Amino acid sequence: MLRDCGEVWARVEELIDAAPSTEALRAHGVHLLAAAVWRSRGRTVPDEVRADERRAAAMAMAAPLLLRRARAAYPGPLLLMKGPEAAARYPDPGTRYFRDLDLLAGDAPAAQRALTAAGFVEVGSPAEYADRQHLCPLAWPGLPLVVELHRVPNRPAWLAPPPAEEILRLAVPSATGVDGLLAPAPAAHALLLAAHGWAHKPLGRLVDLIDLAAVLGPGDRALAAELARAWGWEGIWRVALGAADALIGARDRSRSLSIWARHLEGVRDRSVLEDHLARVAAPACTVSLRRLPSALGANLSRTVGRRGHERWADKLRRSRLAVAHAFMDRSEHERTLP
Amino acid sequence: MTPEPPNILRLRTDELEWKQIDDEIVVLDGRASNYLSAGGAGVILWHMLESGATADELSAALVDKYSIDEASARADVDSFLAELTEQGLLAT
């Protein structure tokens, strides 16, 4: 549908024009795309966005360097997901901001050992990542990006993990051009991007849908649907693709876009209340009725619960602020948190 | 006797990445894991060194662009080249 299609990027430009503020563009992860649009029209790019461009350039330049070093250190299959792999499908990869490099390894612990032996250093405590989808992040001294080696790709907690072996089996050469580095097949990658977006902000950010649209080629839809069925991800895929089609592909407006992703059309930030409701209700249109009660319960528990080792006093303070800021933009609210 | 070939100066190509943002160049020296930036005259010199240029050509470009005298231009060029040499950014 959308890849290699100038109309898509024309539509993205229209959405950027609809954004109420630079803050909203940043909240949706499209402020660098906006800067490119403004510059092409001879408009001055605001200083704060130029600072973001410098940071993004630093990250983008470090990425191939780190990927080459990771590739050289570990002989097994290494597959790049999201960030720079999605960025490589943009007209200008420098307009897609990313902060880490997500790699799926054939044997993640072995890859972690190989990379640390080659000079990467662990950032944080490995014990904290024992139950996470990726191992302790790795940095190269002096460079700003971290590498995260995944046991399995990221996904919402209520979805079954995708079969890593199948993703590796379908892998293709990475679009970044790093020799020997793999990437998921576009159909599988689009699914992984959809799931990643739902894990963090369900239908929350425009950039997640643009990534999906940029990666999914016209001939990839059938395989994506087949994989979604095989992985038990039909619900999430139907909703994410429907939203991307409606928003960027100029197809009929999807129900999810009308009900709880209205903020995407106006490229405005969700309010705190909308954000909480979206996160709690996220499983509603993506899992079967039988599994819905447990998925909703688990999601509610995560939303109202403490974060990690957070003290109850801090949790209550955060909750009081969330109530007081119910109608405030989410990003503005987050800036008030300690 | 053949005349001595001019000393062409050039940026090294290995593990050196850069990107221009408006009137500034952001550089990553991968060998040293070090970031640098250059603005103004540095951008002009950087682009000339990308394809290769002599110190005389670099000075002449600054004279042309900024309408300054040759001695000032040469001093700026020497200072810029000394910095690049110290950072190991020029091809040897």
Here the ipTM equals 0.74
Chain A residues near residue B21 by CB distance under 8 angstroms: 50, 53-54, 57
Q: CA-CA distance, A256 to A285, in Å (whole number)?
A: 8
- CA-based radius of gyration for chain B: 14
Those residues with Cβ within 8 angstroms of residue B86's Cβ, 6 or more apart along the chain or in another chain: none
Partner-chain contact A64 B37, CB within 8 Å: no
- Beta-carbon count within 10 A of A293 CB: 11
Q: CA-CA distance, A84 to A181, in Å (whole number)?
A: 12
Those residues with Cβ within 8 angstroms of residue A313's Cβ, 6 or more apart along the chain or in another chain: none
Looking up tokens 């580095």 gives: A181
Give the whole-number percent of chain A exceeding pLDDT 70. 85
B15 touches chain A (CB under 8 A): yes
Q: CA-CA distance, A281 to A295, in Å (whole number)?
A: 9
B63 touches chain A (CB under 8 A): no
Q: Whole-prediction pTM value?
A: 0.81
Q: Nearest C-alpha of chain A: how many angstroms from B68?
A: 29
Q: CA-CA distance, A114 to B46, in Å (whole number)?
A: 37
Q: Nearest C-alpha of chain A: how many angstroms from B9?
A: 24
| Residue A119 zone, left/alpha/beta (φ > 0; ψ -120 to 50; rest) | left
**Which residue from B minimizes the CA distance to A144?**
B33
Q: Nearest C-alpha of chain A: how many angstroms from B66?
A: 24
- Position A69 scores a pLDDT of 95
Cβ–Cβ under 8 Å, residues A37 and A25: no
B22 touches chain A (CB under 8 A): yes
Q: Nearest C-alpha of chain B: how many angstroms from A174?
A: 19
**Which residue from A minimizes the CA distance to B14?**
A65
Partner-chain contact B21 A142, CB within 8 Å: no
pLDDT tens per residue, range A202-234: 888 999 999 999 999 889 999 999 999 999 999
Chain B residues near residue A58 by CB distance under 8 angstroms: 26, 28, 35
Q: Of B71, B69, B74, B72, nearest to B58 (Cα)?
A: B74
Partner-chain contact A61 B19, CB within 8 Å: yes
pLDDT tens per residue, range A159-197: 889 998 899 999 999 999 999 999 999 999 999 999 998
B55-66 and B70-87 helices, crossing angle to 10°: 130
Dig out the tokens for A179 from the structure: 């020799």
Amino acid A315 reads K
